[in-house]
Amino acid sequence: MKACGVVGFPLLGHFCSTAVANLQNIITSFMGIASLSAFRLATRIVDGLAGLLANKVVVVVMPMIMHNIATNDRGRRKRSMPDSKQARL
C-alpha cells in the first residue's frame, strides 16, 4: 500500500501536467498564430510566482512548525503561524 502511494502520487502529478499541456494545445488550436507560445509563457509566469510562494512556505514555516511539534510546545506552536507570516514578508 505504501509503495502504491510512493509511485502513485508522482504518476498522478505527471498525468495532470500532461493533461494540462494537451488542454493548452487544444485551446490554442482555435486561436491565432503564436498563441500557444504566448499562452505557455503566461502559464510559466503564473506557475513561477505560485512556486515562489509555495517555496517560501516550505522553507520558512515548516521548520518552525516541525520544531514546535517535536518539542510538544503547544503554546509556541499556535504562535508560530502569525510569526511565520511576518518572517515570509
Instruction: Report domain extents, the chain.
Output: 1-30, 32-89
pLDDT tens per residue, range 20-65: 888 888 888 888 778 878 888 888 888 888 877 777 777 777 777 7
Of residues 48, 47, 86, 80, the one with CA closest to residue 62: 80
Q: Which residue has the higher pLDDT, 66 or 42?
A: 42
pLDDT computed for residue 85 by the predictor = 58
pTM of the full structure: 0.47
Which has more confidence, 83 or 38?
38
So what's the pLDDT on residue 77?
Answer: 63
More confident residue, 71 or 78: 71
Residue 44 to residues 35, 53, 55, 58: CA-CA distances in angstroms? 14, 14, 16, 20
